[in-house]
Amino acid sequence: MAKKGKLRAKGRITGSAGRFGPRYGRFIRKRVNDIEKISRAKHICPRCETQAVARRGTGIWECRKCNFKFAGGAYVPQTPILKVALRTIERSIVKEA
């Protein structure tokens, strides 16, 4: 016999992408939901190191505590490429010293 209980639709996307309803397909809505979760989260400020950075616009980020405004990625303040560049710079500084 089949289990009794609530059936849940396979891959149902809720959250911020729920506003699209059934439009655009499941994977596009899932991708939008993941991106919006990351972009709307609080991030760490590079100046005062508190978790108070919020997105102001495409690539524009601002700390609510120290009002430090800086450019970053469209959806995250520090892109993976920036992290690689910062690591390379740090390594070169250590080798010279």
Q: What is the mean pLDDT of residues 62-89?
A: 92
**Cα angle for residues 76, 41, 34 (degrees, 5° grid):** 70
- Amino acid present at 33: N
pTM of the model: 0.72
Residue 44 belongs to some domain of the structure: yes
Q: Is residue 32 part of a domain?
A: yes
Structural domain range at position 84: 15-96
Q: At 32, which CATH number? A: 2.20.25.30
3-state secondary structure of 89: helix
Residue 18's pLDDT is 87
Per-residue pLDDT tens over the stretch 83-96: 899 899 999 988 77
What's the pLDDT band for 21 if we cut at 50, 70, 90? confident
* Number of domains into which the chain is organized: 1
